[in-house]
Amino acid sequence: MTELALHVLLSLGDGPAHGYAIGKDIEERTGGRLDPATGSLYQVIKRLTDDGLIRPATAPPSEADARRKYFALTAAGRKVAAAEIRRLEEIIQVGRKRQLYKVGAL
Amino acid sequence: MNTTLERIARLLVRLHGREYDASYGDDLIETVTARSERARQRGWFWWAVFSLRELASLLVAAIALRCWPRWQAPAVAAAPAGSRAEQVAREFTLASRRLLHTPTFSLAVLMTLALAIAATVTMFAGLWRIVLAPLPYPSAVRLIDLDHGTPRLGTAAGMGMSIGLFREYAQLPSGDAIALYTRREGTLYGTGAAERARFIQATPGLGEVAGLTIQRGRWFSTAEGVTGSPQVAVITDAMWRQRFGSDPAILGRVLHIDGMAHEIIGVLRPGAGFADHRAQFFIPLPLPRAWTRAGGFNYEGVARLAPAATLEQAHRDQNTVIADLSRRYPADQEIGNAIEGGLHSTARPLKDAVLGDTPPTAWALISAAVVVFLMACANVANLFLVRHESRVREQAVQRALGAGAWHLSAAIACEALWLGLAGGGLAMLLASAAIDLVLAYAPADVPRLHELRIDWIVVTFGAVMSITACVACGLLPLLRLWTRRPAPLVGLERLPLASPAAVRIRQGLMAAQVTLAVLLLCVAGLMTKSFQNLLRVNPGFDAGSRLVFNVNVPRNEYRSRADAAAFHTALLERMRELPGVASVGATSTLPLEGLGLGDPLDVRGRLRLSADATPMVRYRRVSNDYFSAMNVPLRSGRVFDTADADGLTDSVVIDEALARLYFGATEPLGNRIRPIEGDPQDRWLTVVGVVGNSVTEGLTETASVGKLYVPLRGSLWADVPAPHDLTYIALVNGDPLNYVDAARTALSSLNPRIALARPEPLDAVLSRARASQAITMLLLIAAATVAAAVGTIGIYAVVSCAVAQRRAEIGVRIAMGATPSQVTAMIVRHSTAIVATGIVTGVALSVVSARIGRALLFGVAPGDWTIPAQVAISALVVAAAACGWPAWRAARIDPVRALHGGS
């Protein structure tokens, strides 16, 4: 799984969001380090949808906008995200044990 | 801006496919819009960067989405499905993949088209920007150059304008606005080193005529165009930036021009200017309030015709004024003479005056480029035809699997589009590089060269060329596809490699290529011969190892001729003392610098002829050593000595042309001469020597102009140039440019306020006179070389194909006992007929085009048969060689394998 795909899953952790909100959330969370161009973002969204990790969702009534399309995590998406994070955590633990990475270090 | 971005983004989303668009399109566009608004807040630059990145990412995503899953798809696709856009996109993808699979073919076509289109576009840019585009002034088509001629005095046109006529013409109803101006060069000093600068001196009307727009201050007022008004100047934007560092307080600063202070009252807008794009500033041409003469043709004039007026009307009006001049200015001797000489208006559109003899060259070059382009198209069409013919079997299979004619056509069309458009795009890059090269290396005297650039018209022309190239690529195979019954699937392996119709088309293309190549070779040959003739012209002087530069002493500091002559004598002395300088001379007008002033002459003791029956003689003021410094040969008598230079004698030296015109076979030495209708004070002067002729205006002049040489402090005849503005010629050891600094030091030790102008080797003056012919010749030779190469390849390709197609037949012939030499001869004979047709047509066309382009040729008769004959023979030899190789291979065909269909 690419980093961008994982970030898309993470963005949807709080509930359904549209493409623009996903992109903006990723950019803000990573402090601008990841700022996917629209084409790349939707490429990932399409692939995640095709793979059944996210699905089109109905908009929250407060933000209904016919042109917007909302996406939500599927159960499979949650599992895959969790598995991916677990995998990353293991990597981090190995890194700490081997003293390649200290807590709080960036 | 945002909507444009959205629109392009929407197009790119559609490229992703219908399904994708339906699922994600709207949300994606909303995202692009929202992000674009955020990017806008960071400024235009970042917004532009953002937009490019967004569009690139969408394009990449579209390509990835559409190509990736199908990359492994078979070459023979199933019947196309999906929307029209999807089908088109798929055809393009498939075509690009097929082209990538045959890199030699694709590259050959691409490079041929790119080079040919680039050459055509470059030449078109020159033709359009220089010859066809209107001059950069408002209502430029109505601007006319005011000019006069006196045909009976030997000046058909080019006399220019006088103050008197300017005043008269200003009253005419056929003109809207009128201005008198002169191009000048002056010395600027006051800040830093003295510098020579070009400028325009003009009546205030020029501002309106040329539409000169001002960014600061103002243009001249009418009052400033009268003698005695304060001295002012309007500077160009370039001068403001370079010399004054864009000083915001520029207005009111002072410009010292030849020792006179001029207050700067305005700055022109960037790009605004007139007549001389190197002119740095404008000063008013002050006209006296009362003026009693109509003559004095020392200026140039420009006028804007009234909206309804025509040039003929302007001619009529001006000639009516001229007819009345002798009655109104009875005391003006000069105008009286001119009217007797047939003075009349030769006003012409300003553009014609600016362009001079450039248009024929530009048309010749674009014609050559178009010929090369047509040959490239013929070659590419041929390649496409072969490619298509070789795919007949593949297409039969495709048809059997359900592909329709549309699908097969689309395949060909997409390949043609790819190559044509890619070739066109590449060509635009090449053309813009070529234009940079032209701007860097073309001779500076090409008019309007600084306006040369690629504008939207040039881009449109390039696009049309690309589309023509696409049509050239695809048309023949498409026609063949639609007009021929599909090949049967059964017996495919027996199908011939090429149908008889395709062979005929290819032979036609081959003949056309030979025709065009022969045409270009002939034209290039004529041009080369004419350039060789030009090189052989004896200019009448030696140019090697000579430095020339100009020194103009200001008239307000050196008021009398004697002062100026004394200064120049001193400078000549200093120069002569410099180590390495063998000889130094000076002249008022260097050969090739133009006619200069002159008169018809009277010979004492001879029956006086009327002025119009006597040839004009041009005056040159020269220092003693001028003839030795230039190595102008002395034919009889003597050249000037010190006594002559000091003005103690009445000696003059004439050239052979003058001697022939005035004295024929009789002895010219000792004769006394003076201008026929000059000032009564003009003294009689004695001919003491005869020197060789030297060129006057250009190397291609047909008749020598008679010249009268006057010593530095001699003759005070009104029309002999004063010794203020002289050009020096120094014969030196080694590179002439090494002596510039020493010359400059010598000059500034005498007077630091005088600048040394335009130092250059005399060689450069001579090669400049040959430059336009040289460039035309080089470009035509380049075009002809490309044409010859393309033509040779074309012949080779056609003959090879013919041989491949006739393998079985040749095999039978060999099996029946034909010898290899018989087979070779048969193939060569067959091709020679086609080549000969092409050569004959090409030679015929070249004779026609030489007649059309006569103006470009020098010393070559248009009916000259030597060059076409040489070209025809060489073309025949080259063509024989191009056919010979395939023919030789044909003779070595193994009959057994050929008859079995093997290779």
Question: What six digits make up the tokens of B382?
Answer: 């041929």
Q: What is the pLDDT of residue B889?
A: 81
CA separation for the pair B671, A46 (Å, rounded): 104
Single out the residue of B63, B37, B65 nearest to residue B50, CA to CA.
Answer: B37
Residue B881, SS3? helix
Output DSSP code: residue B178: E
With CB atoms and an 8 Å threshold, state whether B65 touches A38.
no
What secondary structure does DSSP assign to B28-49, as a single string? HHHHHHHHHHHHHTT-HHHHHH
Q: What is the pLDDT of residue B40?
A: 86
Torsion angle in degrees (nearest 10) through CA of B746, B749, B755, B759:
10
CA separation for the pair B171, B324 (Å, rounded): 14
Average pLDDT over residues B10-26: 84
Q: Of the ranges A46-55, B257-266, B437-446, B492-501, which one carries the lowest mean pLDDT score?
A: B492-501
Question: What six digits make up the tokens of B718?
Answer: 């009104």
From B83's Cα to the closest Cα of chain A, the distance in A is 21
With CB atoms and an 8 Å threshold, state whether B31 touches A18.
yes
Q: What is the pLDDT of residue B79?
A: 40
With CA atoms as reference, the chain B residue closest to A68 would be B27
Question: What six digits make up the tokens of B670?
Answer: 């000792």
CA separation for the pair B73, B66 (Å, rounded): 12
Tokens 């008749």 belong to residue: B703
Q: Which residues of chain A have a CB within 8 Å of the CB of B20?
A: 46
Q: What is the pLDDT of residue B77?
A: 38
From B28's Cα to the closest Cα of chain A, the distance in A is 7
Query: Per-residue pLDDT for B289 more than 60?
Result: yes
Q: Of the ranges A45-59, B135-149, B284-298, which one carries the lowest mean pLDDT score?
A: B284-298
- Looking at per-residue pLDDT, the higher value among B236 and B612 belongs to B236
Q: Which residues of chain B have a CB within 8 Å of the CB of A49?
A: 23
Binned at pLDDT 50, 70 and 90, residue B68 comes out as low
- Looking at per-residue pLDDT, the higher value among B1 and B663 belongs to B663
Q: Which residues of chain A have a CB within 8 Å of the CB of B58?
A: 37-39
CB proximity A12 to B under 8 Å: no
Q: Which residues of chain A have a CB within 8 Å of the CB of B26?
A: 66-69
| Mean pLDDT across chain A | 85
H/E element holding B843? helix B820-852
CA separation for the pair B300, B346 (Å, rounded): 12
CA separation for the pair B178, B201 (Å, rounded): 14
CB proximity A42 to B under 8 Å: yes
Q: What is the pTM of this model?
A: 0.65
Best probe of the B interface among A42, A43, A65, A69, by most B CBs < 10 A, is: A42
CA separation for the pair B80, B88 (Å, rounded): 10
B588: phi then psi, degrees, rounded to nearest 5:
-70, -30
Q: What is the pLDDT of residue B611?
A: 60
Inter-residue contact B735 to B175 (CB < 8 Å): no
Binned at pLDDT 50, 70 and 90, residue B866 comes out as confident
With CB atoms and an 8 Å threshold, state whether A69 touches B27.
yes
Q: Of the ranges B24-38, B87-101, B514-528, B685-699, which one carries the lowest mean pLDDT score?
A: B87-101
Average pLDDT over residues B698-722: 81
With CB atoms and an 8 Å threshold, state whether A20 touches B30.
yes
- Looking at per-residue pLDDT, the higher value among B147 and B77 belongs to B147
Query: Per-residue pLDDT for B116 more than 70?
Result: yes
Burial label for B126, CB within 10 Å (0-12, 13-18, 19+), is buried
- Looking at per-residue pLDDT, the higher value among B596 and B520 belongs to B520
CB proximity A69 to B under 8 Å: yes
The distance from CA B659 to its chain's CA centroid, rounded to whole angstroms, is: 39
CB proximity A59 to B under 8 Å: no
Inter-residue contact B474 to B384 (CB < 8 Å): yes
Name, in order, each residue with C-beta under 8 angstroms of B876's C-beta and a sequence gap of 6 or more. Answer: B832, B835, B836, B839
β-strand partners of B727: B550, B587
Binned at pLDDT 50, 70 and 90, residue B903 comes out as very low
Query: Per-residue pLDDT for B362 more than 80?
Result: yes
Question: B-side interface with A, Cβ within 8 Å?
Answer: 9, 12, 20, 23-24, 26-32, 34-35, 53-54, 56-62, 64-65
With CB atoms and an 8 Å threshold, state whether B34 touches A20.
yes
Question: What six digits make up the tokens of B758?
Answer: 């335009």
Residue B557, SS3? coil
| Beta strand B281-284 pairing with B232-235 | antiparallel
From B49's Cα to the closest Cα of chain A, the distance in A is 12
Partner residue facing A42 (CB), from B28, B34, B59: B28
- Looking at per-residue pLDDT, the higher value among B143 and B155 belongs to B143
Terminal C-alpha separation, chain A:
23
CB proximity A86 to B under 8 Å: no
Average pLDDT over residues B211-238: 91
Q: What is the pLDDT of residue B74?
A: 34
- Looking at per-residue pLDDT, the higher value among A85 and B86 belongs to A85
With CB atoms and an 8 Å threshold, state whether A20 touches B35.
yes
| Mean pLDDT across chain B | 83
Query: Per-residue pLDDT for B369 more than 70?
Result: yes
Inter-residue contact B17 to B24 (CB < 8 Å): no
CA separation for the pair B743, B248 (Å, rounded): 37
With CB atoms and an 8 Å threshold, state whether A39 touches B57.
yes
CB proximity A2 to B under 8 Å: no
From B44's Cα to the closest Cα of chain A, the distance in A is 18
Q: Where are the alpha helices (DSSP H) in B16-158?
A: 18-40, 44-67, 84-101, 103-126
Output DSSP code: residue B299: B
CB pairs under 8 A between A and B: 68
Q: What is the pLDDT of residue B262?
A: 92
From B11's Cα to the closest Cα of chain A, the distance in A is 13
Q: What is the pLDDT of residue B801?
A: 72
Q: What is the pLDDT of residue A35?
A: 83
CB proximity A19 to B under 8 Å: yes
CA separation for the pair B552, B53 (Å, rounded): 60
Query: Per-residue pLDDT for B443 more than 80?
Result: no
pLDDT in tens, B626-658: 999 999 999 999 999 888 877 778 899 999 999
pLDDT in tens, B388-415: 877 777 777 777 777 777 778 888 888 8
Question: What six digits make up the tokens of B810?
Answer: 């040749």
Query: Per-residue pLDDT for B162 more than 60?
Result: yes
CB proximity A37 to B under 8 Å: yes
Question: What six digits make up the tokens of B114?
Answer: 């790119």
CB proximity A68 to B under 8 Å: yes
Binned at pLDDT 50, 70 and 90, residue B84 comes out as low
Binned at pLDDT 50, 70 and 90, residue B271 comes out as confident
Q: Which residues of chain B have a CB within 8 Å of the CB of A41?
A: 31
CB proximity A43 to B under 8 Å: yes
Best probe of the B interface among A25, A34, A38, A40, by most B CBs < 10 A, is: A38
With CB atoms and an 8 Å threshold, state whether A40 touches B29.
no
Inter-residue contact A12 to A77 (CB < 8 Å): yes
Partner residue facing A67 (CB), from B30, B53, B64: B30
CA separation for the pair B843, B868 (Å, rounded): 6
Q: What is the pLDDT of residue B76?
A: 35
Q: What is the pLDDT of residue B72?
A: 31
- Looking at per-residue pLDDT, the higher value among A34 and B178 belongs to B178
With CB atoms and an 8 Å threshold, state whether A38 touches B56.
no
- Looking at per-residue pLDDT, the higher value among B487 and B35 belongs to B35
From A64's Cα to the closest Cα of chain B, the distance in A is 13
With CB atoms and an 8 Å threshold, state whether A39 touches B61.
yes
Q: Of the ranges B133-142, B851-860, B873-882, which one carries the lowest mean pLDDT score?
A: B851-860
CA separation for the pair B785, A55 (Å, rounded): 65
Residue A76's alpha-carbon distances to A52, A79, A80, B434, in angstroms, are 7, 5, 6, 60
Q: What is the pLDDT of residue B859?
A: 79
pLDDT in tens, B305-334: 998 889 999 999 999 999 888 888 887 777
Query: Per-residue pLDDT for B180 more than 90?
Result: yes
With CB atoms and an 8 Å threshold, state whether B27 touches A68.
yes
β-strand partners of B363: none
With CB atoms and an 8 Å threshold, state whether B65 touches A43.
yes
Spell out where B623-724 has E strands.
Answer: 634-637, 651-655, 672-675, 685-691, 707-711
Amino acid making up residue A29: R
Query: Per-residue pLDDT for B70 more than 50?
Result: no
CA separation for the pair B846, B514 (Å, rounded): 13
What secondary structure does DSSP assign to B193-238, as a single string? EEEEEEEEEE-TTHHHHTT--EEEE----GGGGBTTSPPEEEE-HH
With CB atoms and an 8 Å threshold, state whether B27 touches A39.
no
Average pLDDT over residues B88-92: 79
Amino acid making up residue B340: E
